[in-house]
């Protein structure tokens, strides 16, 4: 039987994201962020293709991105509330790591598995930040799906897209836990 790690299992059974709007300074410095990025980079990666990379954005960069989000939202003629939500995730952030999926065509690995790996990196980074004692939240939103924003704000190439924005900081208030899935309703057991 494998060696158990009760502390890790307890963490996973009780982990919860912290709303980005509750995250304030201080945020991790580079030395504190490197282990979080390292843990995320240990995500399963079929074919060792590394179909993702990271862009670490500090406050001045986030303020610039907020302005680009406003410009793009106006250009797309989005509803003002939707624009504001996209702008606020950058304007109110203090440290955000963009996980960038890199589309790497290969006959060896189905493209969808590369997308799964990029999503798994987001969750691994979120959990590593939480396990390190920080508050963290994985967001996407319309800017993450807008090619103009990806190009103008992040300089992404055509073969890249945003898998998620991981907000990391100090939690100022913890909301109550939310209802979790009913395991009986989402689990099927096959024995033959």
Residue 64, both tokens: 């610039």
Count of Cβ atoms closer than 10 Å to residue 76 Cβ: 14
Is 161 annotated as contributing to ligand binding? no
Is 17 annotated as contributing to ligand binding? yes
Burial of 139 from C-beta contacts in 10 A (0-12 / 13-18 / 19+): buried
Is 16 annotated as contributing to ligand binding? yes
Is 180 annotated as contributing to ligand binding? no
Is 139 annotated as contributing to ligand binding? yes
Q: Peptide bond before 26: cis, by omega within 30 degrees of 0?
A: yes
Burial of 77 from C-beta contacts in 10 A (0-12 / 13-18 / 19+): exposed
Residue 146 neighbours by CB under 8 Å, 6+ apart: 72, 76
Residue 97 neighbours by CB under 8 Å, 6+ apart: 33, 37, 54, 55, 56, 57, 125, 165, 166, 168
Is 46 annotated as contributing to ligand binding? yes
Give how far Cα 61 sits from Cα of 57, 93, 154, Å: 6, 10, 10
Q: Which residues are annotated as a binding site?
A: 15-17, 42, 46, 138-140
Binding-site residue ranges for FMN: 15-17, 42, 46, 138-140
């Amino acid at each position: 039987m494998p060696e158990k790690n009760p502390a890790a299992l307890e963490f996973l059974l009780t982990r919860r994201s912290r709303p980005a709007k509750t995250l304030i300074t201080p945020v991790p410095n580079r030395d504190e962020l490197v282990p979080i990025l390292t843990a995320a980079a240990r995500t399963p990666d079929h074919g060792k293709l590394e179909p993702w990379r990271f862009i670490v954005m500090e406050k001045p960069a986030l303020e610039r991105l907020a302005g680009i989000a406003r410009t793009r939202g106006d250009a797309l003629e989005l509803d003002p509330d939707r624009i504001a939500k996209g702008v606020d995730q950058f304007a109110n952030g203090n440290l955000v790591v963009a996980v960038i999926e890199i589309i790497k065509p290969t006959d060896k690995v189905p493209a969808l598995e590369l997308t799964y790996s990029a999503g798994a990196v987001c969750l691994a980074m979120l959990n590593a930040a939480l396990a390190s004692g920080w508050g963290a939240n994985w967001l996407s939103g319309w800017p993450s799906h807008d090619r103009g924003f990806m190009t103008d704000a992040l300089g992404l190439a055509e073969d890249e897209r945003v898998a998620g924005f991981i907000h990391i900081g100090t939690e100022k208030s913890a909301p109550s836990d939310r209802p979790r899935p009913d395991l009986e309703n989402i689990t099927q057991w096959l024995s033959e």
